[in-house]
């Protein structure tokens, strides 16, 4: 445990930020799973709606720094390919 006041504060801030990041990452994974479920089901209209939400979530995560921008682009590209295969 730190002794210096500013170090104690950093510990508290780091804990709260870690909790926020964990919640945001969990929400992102949930949106991606919803898209995957819609694609697996084969429902094009549901998949389209889930795709828009998932892409927005990925962009938001990349903007917050939860995902690297290349990783976000890779995820979006993969989702687009899976959506287009659904036809």
CATH topology of domain 28-86: Methane Monooxygenase Hydroxylase; Chain G, domain 1 (1.20.58)
Average pLDDT over the chain reads: 96
**pTM, entire model:** 0.86
Distance between CA atoms of 60 and 85, rounded to whole angstroms? 25
Give the distance, in angstroms, between the CA of residue 75 and the centroid of all CA atoms in the same chain.
10
CB 48 within 8 A of CB 87: no
**Helix boundaries (H) for 1-87:** 5-41, 44-64, 69-86
CB 37 within 8 A of CB 26: no
What is the Rg, in whole angstroms, of the alpha carbon atoms belonging to the chain?
Answer: 17
pLDDT digits (tens, 9 = 90+) for 41-80: 999 999 999 999 999 999 999 999 999 999 999 999 999 9
Please report which confidence band the pLDDT of residue 87 belongs to, taking 50, 70 and 90 as the band edges: confident
């Amino acid at each position: 445990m730190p002794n210096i006041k500013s170090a104690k504060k950093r510990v508290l801030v780091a804990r709260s930020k870690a909790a926020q990041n964990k919640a945001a990452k969990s929400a992102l994974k949930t949106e991606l799973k919803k898209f995957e479920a819609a694609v697996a089901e084969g429902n094009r209209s549901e998949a389209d709606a889930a795709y828009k939400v998932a892409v927005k979530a990925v962009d938001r995560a990349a903007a917050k720094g939860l995902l690297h921008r290349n990783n976000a682009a890779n995820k979006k590209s993969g989702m687009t390919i899976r959506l287009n295969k659904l036809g």
